[in-house]
Amino acid sequence: MVNFLQLEEMVMGKLKSFGVEEGKGRYYEEIVYSTALLYNIIDDTLSTYLRSFDLTIGKFNILMVIKHQGEAAGINQAEVSKKLIVTPSNMTKLIDKLEEDGLVKRNVLARDRRVNILKVTARGSALLDQAWPEYVNRLKRLVDSLNASDQKELSKYLRKWLGSFRR
């Protein structure tokens, strides 16, 4: 794991490659580019791990929503699409693949055949249960260079920033 000073040097070096210089008062650039770079690090870390389960981050997130939001009754495919901000056509492709892999079951709603209800299969649930503990450990390691107080503060500011887009 890279320590905080190494990570800071690495990030600032990458920011300079985008023409962003630290301390020039253009914090908006530092924030946006740092966020993009962090996304890439997070995506790479989690994608690499999930690949061993033949899952992508998208498929993993879909399975998690179906399992935990839908529970025993299942969940409407359109609702999953809204929760994950995935277009209906992309959602259909991902669900097709998950169904082919035996991880989800898609049922047409009896009273409205345009509505698909999704449920995680026993195989899908077992796969999630197997992947989850180390997935959480990797999430924790991604932020372990920050102490608990810094994590709490960063979380607060990110939620505030994210909330500003809901207007």
Residue 143 lies in a domain: no
Residue 138 has pLDDT above 50, yes or no: yes
Identify the three-state secondary structure at position 130: helix
pLDDT by residue (tens digit) across 69-112? 988 889 989 899 888 988 888 889 999 999 999 999 998 877 77
The whole domain housing 85 covers: 57-126
Residue 24 and residue 79 in one domain = no
Sign (positive or negative) of CA dihedral 44, 50, 56, 62: negative
Phi, psi of 105 (to 5 degrees): -125, 130
Residue 47 and residue 21 in one domain = yes
Residue 3 neighbours by CB under 8 Å, 6+ apart: 145
Residue 167 has pLDDT above 60, yes or no: no
Q: How confident is the model at residue 1 (pLDDT cuts 50, 70, 90)?
A: very low
Residue 29 lies in a domain: yes
Residue 46 and residue 67 in one domain = no
d(CA 152, CA 39): 19
Residue 6 and residue 21 in one domain = yes
pTM for the complete prediction?
Answer: 0.80
Residue 9 has pLDDT above 70, yes or no: no
Across the range 15-36, mean pLDDT stands at 80
Residue 61 and residue 121 in one domain = yes
CATH number of the domain that 73 lies in?
1.10.10.10
Q: How many domains, in total, are found in the chain?
A: 2
